[in-house]
Structure 1
Amino acid sequence: MEELYIFQQNLITQISLDWKRYLFSEIKRDEKLLGIKGIRGVGKTTLLLQYLISSPLNPNQKLYVTADHPYFYQNSLFELASQFYSASGQLLLIDEVHKYKNWSRELKLIYDGFPNLQVIFTSSSALDLYRGESDLSRRLITQNLEGLSFREYLRLTQALELPSFSLEELITNHLEITSTLLPKFHALPNFKNYLNYGYFPIVNQVTPESVSSRVFQIINTVLESDLAFAKEYSPSNIAKIKKLLGVISVSVPFEPNISKIAEKLGLGRTTVYSFLAHLQDAKLIRMINKQNRGINYLQKPDKIYFENTNFAFALQSQPNSGTIRETFFANQLSNSGHKLELSTKGDFLIDQTWTVEIGGKSKDGEQIKGVEDSFLALDELEIGFGKKIPLWLFGFLY
């Protein structure tokens, strides 16, 4: 176990506490078994190590491990937990648990066998933590770490400490809010940069020109590694799901014809539905349906978007501006816990209450005329008025 402490020490010397993701303050610290899910590159490892450093426990009572460490070639996760617990260990942090073959069975044994040991682990978004080999549903609490909000992007790149706001606050007080924010930064040029390359923390580590290639690498790794682990995909299945993502990337927001897709890719309809569900689980795409339809595993989605705008810029040479606006809005609203459906009037229905039409600054309100609880979210607009709200402001929801 000594080698794991040495490995941990080498990692924490590289970690700063100056900036933390939004989830750090929201971690459920009293849960005995907590899983943190998120797509690659959003900062799950850094979050765990910051949590480790910030813990008031003595150094020998807390331990970080990554599930793909060579230590586990000859030792099991349960054996580690047993040895650690016997040495008065109280906090075990496990990174990338989906890389460990018997993760669910051994987490259950750890939970049941070591009553005073807290376990916090991270996993790929593609992994269904409640459908492991052993039933963890009565034991496990999960939280999601999403990509950067526009607010977090400004904090990371410009060291700006800015507050977040609820959706209700943005809708009812947007003029007052923008008046307090705008003296602190240039909204529109920064927002344009964020849409292009600001969703992942790597934006602060590489040049803007190289972000798209790094984002493309993230997509490939999710497909070739995370989905392979989580869904036990063969190389041939990975090749087919890549082709499906390629079909989607040609014309998002995509209104799919499942029969034509299946014929084009040489797949069955059920397989296409399954692949789409897995792409959404892996947070590469977002499927949105019309009001009151919900999302069923074997149901045709009404529209398919990329999960975030950076994916669009990485996979398309010139993504459509209208699509980018809708993708951003859907991403930030969903990431902050709101339910989105396609609206019969306007673009989206939020939480079955608010109707929103999205567009450029010259967009009028004709599509939502006469609709109660409605507003316009407009790009290229620095400050709004009445029902016209700047699109960039919805990047301050978390």
Structure 2
Amino acid sequence: MEELINRYRNLLLSIKTDFKRSHYNKINWKGRAICILGARGTGKSTLMLQYLKENLPLDKSLYLSLDDLYFKQNSLIELTERFYQLGGRNLLLDEVHKYEDWQSAVKNMYDFYPDLKLIISGSSILALQKSQADLSRRLVYYELPELSFREYLSLKLKIKLEKYDIIEILNNHQKIVEQNVTVIPDLMLQFEHYKKTGAYPFFLEDERDYVSKINQLINVIIDYDLPEGKDISTSTQAKLKKLLYLLSTSVPFSPNITKLAEKTETTRPRLLEMLHMLEVSKLIKNLRSSSKGISMMNKPDKIFLANTNLIYALALENQNQGNIRETFFYNQLENSGAVLTTAKSGDFLVNNQFEFEIGGKNKTFDQIAKIPNSYIAADEMLYGMGNKIPLYLFGFLY
């Protein structure tokens, strides 16, 4: 165990706390047992280590990544018992799904050590979500999304930027733009960078490798994470990747499930199941009407990749601007906690209250002119006017 302690202490030295994700403050860190869900690359490990570094006594705390080779031959329960006997009271378990029968291990730790604080996380969302039925009385679940445009700017430029709720943006967008333009004079250029290479914190390492890392991330999710939560064949994995490519090059449309099934050489029911798997894995977002429940067999009204970076990485030169704009809007609003469904005339209905049409700077209100509480989220414009609001501003919601 001493080697594991030394390893985590050395790791802790490299953790910076000057920038924290906005979701950091949404977590009740005082809870006895919490689980942080989120797609690969969103910064879950850093979030845990930041909390440990600033709030927990090091001599009573231990961070472990359960994909460590140590756990191929050693018991997590036995290590926990030894750690507890030595006075340890805070155990942080990363990549928890990599440990065989981890659900039973977490359950036993929770039940047998009442004053042991547990913080766990993992990248296989499907595997972690399957555990919620068994561990719901013990764990409180939180979700960490990709970086918002605001977080990207804060992290890249090392500046503190205010976040706004949707009502503030709708009512005061001109004033908000004025406040931020003085701090970020190249705001529109930064927005273009964000759409291509800003959703994941690893953009800081080397942007030249960013697209390769996105493709690696997709492969790891489909080839390794998904099989940990569901029994799928290699042929299905190949079809999932093909489906992602098809979606990356599409225009925003109501999908023809039968045709998509033909293009991916599968059946209609199997395609709906594949769309569900990709949605749970946080690789796509399925938009539905407010009257539809979220069911695997319900056809989505629109299908988007989870964020714009995935589009640029997969579609290369075949991106559709309408798809990129709507994907950005959907991603930022849903990640902030808003509920989006299909709209009668526009592209999105937000919180069952506001209707939005998404487009470029020349987009008109013709389509939504008679709709109350209707707005245009317009790309390619720095300042808005009235109910026409710059698209990038919705990246300041979290």
- Judge same fold: TM > 0.5, yes or no: yes
Q: Are the structure 2 counterparts of residues 66 and 387 from structure 1 closer, same or farther at C-alpha, using a change threshold of 3 Å?
A: same
Q: Could you tell me how far apart the structure 1 residues matched to 2:188 and 2:124 are?
A: 31
Aligned-pair distance for 1:240? Answer: 2.8
Give me the whole-angstrom Cα distance separating, in 1, the residues matched to 2:79 and 2:169.
48
CA distance in 2, matches of 1:252, 1:85: 55
- TM-superposed CA distance for 1:80, in Å, is 2.0
Equivalent position amino acid for 1:44 in 2: K
Specify the alignment match of 1:81 in structure 2.
Answer: 80
**Superposed CA offset, 1:49-71 (max 9, x none):** 111111242x2210000011122
Deviations 1:163-205 (A, max 9, x none): 0011111111111111111111122111111111111111111
Deviation at 1:252, TM superposition (A): 4.7
Return 5+ residue gaps in structure 1 as ranges: none
Tell me, in whole angstroms, the C-alpha distance in 2 between the residues paired with 1:155 and 1:133: 34
Taking a change above 3 Å as real, the CA distance of residues 216 and 325 of structure 1, as seen in their structure-2 partners, is same
For the pair 1:38 / 2:45, whether they are aligned, the reply is: no
Given that 1:33 and 1:118 are in contact with CA atoms closer than 8 Å, whether structure 2 keeps it comes out as: yes
Percent sequence identity is 42
Distance in 1 (alpha carbons) for counterparts of 2:336 and 2:92: 25
| Distance change in 2, residues 1:70/1:278 (3 Å) | same
Q: Residue 75 of structure 1 aligns to a residue in which SS?
A: coil
- 1:375 maps to 375
Question: Which residue of the partner structure matches residue 61 of structure 2?
Answer: 62
Post-superposition CA distance 1:137-165 (Å, at most 9, x none): 22221111111111111111111211001
How many residues get paired? 396
8 A contact 1:108–1:134 mirrored in 2? no
Task: Assess if the C-alpha contact under 8 Å between 2:292 and 2:298 holds in 1.
Answer: no
CA distance in 1, matches of 2:35, 2:251: 32
3-state SS of 1:367 partner: coil
Q: Shift of residue 308 of structure 1?
A: 0.1
Deviation at 1:257, TM superposition (A): 2.5
Measured in 2, the distance between the counterparts of 1:252 and 1:7 equals 48
Partner of 1:275: 274
> Is contact 1:254–1:305 with CA below 8 Å preserved after alignment?
no
Moved over 6 A (4+): none
Q: What's the CA shift for 1:236?
A: 3.2
Q: Contact between 2:124 and 2:228, CA under 8 Å: does it hold in 1?
A: no
User: Structure 2 matches for 1:305-344, cutoff 5 A?
Assistant: 305-318=304-317, 319-344=319-344
Give the secondary-structure state (helix, strand or coil) at the position aligned to 2:126: coil
Q: What RMSD, in angstroms, separates the aligned Cα atoms of the two structures?
A: 1.7
Distance 1:246 1:80 in 2: 44
Aligned to 2:194: 194
> Which residue number in structure 2 is paired with residue 171 of structure 1?
170
TM-score of the superposition, structure 2-length normalised? 0.95
Q: Which residue of 1 aligns with 2:252?
A: 253
C-alpha displacement at 1:23, in angstroms? Answer: 2.2
Structure 1 CA distance for aligned equivalents of residues 69 and 122 of structure 2: 18
For residue 293 of structure 1, give the secondary structure of its aligned residue in structure 2: coil
The range that moved more, 233-242 or 304-313, is 233-242
Moved more, 67-76 or 125-134: 125-134
Contact 2:66 2:96 in 1 (8 A): yes
Q: Distance in 2 between matches of 1:171 and 1:183?
A: 20
2:182 aligned counterpart, secondary structure: helix
TM-score by length of 1: 0.95
The code of the aligned residue for 1:335 comes to N
Aligned to 2:181: 182
Q: Secondary structure at the match of 2:237?
A: helix
Give the whole-Å Cα distance in 1 for the aligned partners of 2:370 and 2:111. 57
Q: Is the deviation greater in 251-260 or in 224-233?
A: 251-260
Give the partner amino acid of 1:210: D
In structure 2, the residue matched to 1:203 is 203
| Contact persistence 1:341–1:349 (CA under 8 A) | yes
**2-side partners of 1:263 and 1:364: how far apart?**
37
Query: SS of 2:334's equivalent?
Result: helix
Q: Structure 1 268/114 Cα, relative in aligned 2: closer, same or farther at 3 Å?
A: same
Whole-Å separation in 2 of the counterparts to 1:239 and 1:179: 48
Q: 1:151 to 1:258 in 2, by over 3 A?
A: same
